[in-house]
Amino acid sequence: MLSHPRVYNFGWTSSGIIVPAVLSNSVCRLVVLISGRGSNMQSIVNTVRDHSLPAEICAVIANKTEAGGLQWARDRGLATHAVAHRDYATRVEFDTALAAVIDDYQPDYVLLAGFMRVLTPGFVEHFNGRLINIHPSLLPAFPGLHTHQQALAMGVQWHGCTVHFVTPVLDHGPIIAQGIVPVISDDTPETLAGRVLQVEHKLYANVVRWLAEGLVSLNSMQRVQVLGIASRSFVLTPNGVQPYQR
């Protein structure tokens, strides 16, 4: 079932975002979770504002009081919260407190953007079908941490990132979109991470647009469908991040 059903035509902006011209009547409520600098969160906020998406960033929440992205969000007038995981004895206690703060905003989607906590099954179940994550690898390859080191160690020639719905299995769940970058012979984990991050920002920006426009649905086979979007794959080219064109 599509959330926010609407009528669509499609175009393409100079900044690389697929844009449907829509008739819309509701606003998609978003809460973004971060743990650090929040560059993906910033890309999401800027995309919503620069393209006047029918979406609202209700709050930015971090599990660390020192997360750099919180001040960036505050400086732009966004509601922010720090629910410090160190203040809780167990994961369940932390997740319960975090869920309570999120629920106050009644979001349509909760976006994990560089949020580095493994969430409990209870939390994932509570936000089932509304919880989305970005992972810096081409899932199902290289789940977990140190994905760029893993990629270099395996000698893969293409690497990338994935935006997916979250399930209780870590870095698993229905894939919404993926982006790829070439691996260069003298790459280090840092240079590879920098290249992947470029694609992450565009990938998450496009997914947020699709969510805001109510285009995204999960079918009975737990496969993602995005109305009117044939290709959900993006490529880093010398001309920037481009959607794959048939």
Residues at the contact surface with ligand GRF, assessed by CB under 6 A: 34, 36-40, 113-114, 134-136, 197, 200
Please check if 9 is assigned to a binding site. Answer: no
The least distance separating ligand GRF from the CB of residue 58, rounded to whole angstroms, comes to 18
Q: Are 216 and 180 in contact (CB under 8 A)?
A: no
Determine the 3-state secondary structure of 22 from DSSP.
Answer: strand
Please check if 38 is assigned to a binding site. Answer: yes
Nearer to ligand GRF, 22 or 196 (CB): 196
Nearer to ligand GRF, 36 or 243 (CB): 36
CA distance 177 to 197: 15
Please check if 206 is assigned to a binding site. Answer: no
Determine the 3-state secondary structure of 236 from DSSP.
Answer: strand
Residue 84 is encoded by which pair of tokens?
């410090």
CA distance 207 to 213: 10
Amino acid at 192: L
CA distance 94 to 35: 14
In 3D space, the residue among 160, 99, 91 whose CA is nearest the CA of residue 131 turns out to be 99
In 3D space, the residue among 211, 161, 219 whose CA is nearest the CA of residue 20 turns out to be 211
- Catalytic residue from among 4, 135, 164, 201: 135
CA distance 62 to 102: 11
Please check if 86 is assigned to a binding site. Answer: no
Strand 28-34 relative to strand 55-62, pairing: parallel
Residue 96 is encoded by which pair of tokens?
């319960």
The least distance separating ligand GRF from the CB of residue 167, rounded to whole angstroms, comes to 17
Instruction: Find the residue with minimal CB distance to ligand GRF.
Output: 114
The least distance separating ligand GRF from the CB of residue 9, rounded to whole angstroms, comes to 32
The least distance separating ligand GRF from the CB of residue 220, rounded to whole angstroms, comes to 29
Nearer to ligand GRF, 4 or 202 (CB): 202
Please, which contacts does 193-196 make with residues 24 or more away whose CB atoms are closer than 8 Å?
Answer: 193/136, 193/148, 195/236, 196/136, 196/148, 196/159, 196/160, 196/161
Please check if 39 is assigned to a binding site. Answer: yes
Nearer to ligand GRF, 39 or 63 (CB): 39
The least distance separating ligand GRF from the CB of residue 60, rounded to whole angstroms, comes to 11
Q: Are 81 and 31 in contact (CB under 8 A)?
A: no
Q: Annotated catalytic, 164? A: no
Nearer to ligand GRF, 199 or 226 (CB): 199
Q: Which residues are catalytic?
A: 135
Binding site residue list for (6R)-10-formyltetrahydrofolate: 91, 133
Binding site residue list: 38-40, 91, 133
